[in-house]
Chain A
Amino acid sequence: SAVISQKPSRDICQRGTSLTIQCQVDSQVTMMFWYRQQPGQSLTLIATANQGSEATYESGFVIDKFPISRPNLTFSTLTVSNMSPEDSSIYLCSVDRGRTTVDYTFGSGTRLTVV
């Protein structure tokens, strides 16, 4: 399985500010996925990040709020913009390194608290 380094692991931010979360993968992957997990809830896909093209956002998520960068095949960032307390969640990145079968790995998550 791939190894993903995600940071920061946690942060407490003021409302109205932005936070950028980074994910570094130890090998090249085509797609990286960003998920949000609200308190006590399951994971919801925010967007899929492809290198060299704009991210594909799921329903309910927009680029202005969650801009994503994917400068190369091993790195991606997710920014949570103009934060409000409702953005307090765990954010996770994930990759699928499988060739003949799926092989997903998740980052350790970023626990964001907006005050």
Chain B
Amino acid sequence: SQQGEEDPQALSIQEGENATMNCSYKTSINNLQWYRQNSGRGLVHLILIRSNEREKHSGRLRVTLDTSKKSSSLLITASRAADTASYFCATDSGGSEKLVFGKGTKLTVNP
């Protein structure tokens, strides 16, 4: 079953703009991760945020986590056409290593 729900499902922006994607989940988590997938290929890990962290940065990426609202957001600043991809959040919880994925946001960055 899907734990995370991303919104929006699709997002189209111009190069240079910022893109914000949101993810909500249903149960307590250990970690939340964001992944990127280009054209239905393998997943690329972007960033991991632990349940006791509130914000994390990596290059042009900024992730926030609000455990009280069971939600996370991924911000991509100064977007580029190469950022065009699908973005998924995934959570792990309890003593399990398995990941539960959200439905994903399809981002299109227009040059």
B-contacting residues of A (Cβ < 8 Å)? 1, 6, 31, 33, 35, 37, 41-45, 48, 59, 90, 92, 94, 96, 101-102, 104-109, 111
A109 to B35, alpha carbons, bound, how many Å?
14
A105 to B104, alpha carbons, bound, how many Å?
18
| Main SS at interface, chain A | strand
Contact of A101 among B48, B100, B104 (CB under 8 A): B48
Asked if A45 contacts B40 (CB within 8 A), the reply is: no
Q: How many residues of B contact A (CB 8 A)?
A: 24
Asked if A45 contacts B45 (CB within 8 A), the reply is: no
Q: Pick the most buried of A1, A42, A44: most chain B CB atoms within 10 A of its CB.
A: A42
Among B57-65, B68-76, B77-85, B91-99, which stretch is in contact with chain A?
Answer: B91-99
A43 to B99, alpha carbons, bound, how many Å?
9
Asked if B40 contacts A90 (CB within 8 A), the reply is: yes
Asked if B41 contacts A108 (CB within 8 A), the reply is: yes
A105 to B2, alpha carbons, bound, how many Å?
20
Cβ contacts under 8 Å, B1 to chain A: 59
A105 to B43, alpha carbons, bound, how many Å?
8
Asked if B97 contacts A96 (CB within 8 A), the reply is: yes
A86 to B43, alpha carbons, bound, how many Å?
22
A33 to B98, alpha carbons, bound, how many Å?
7
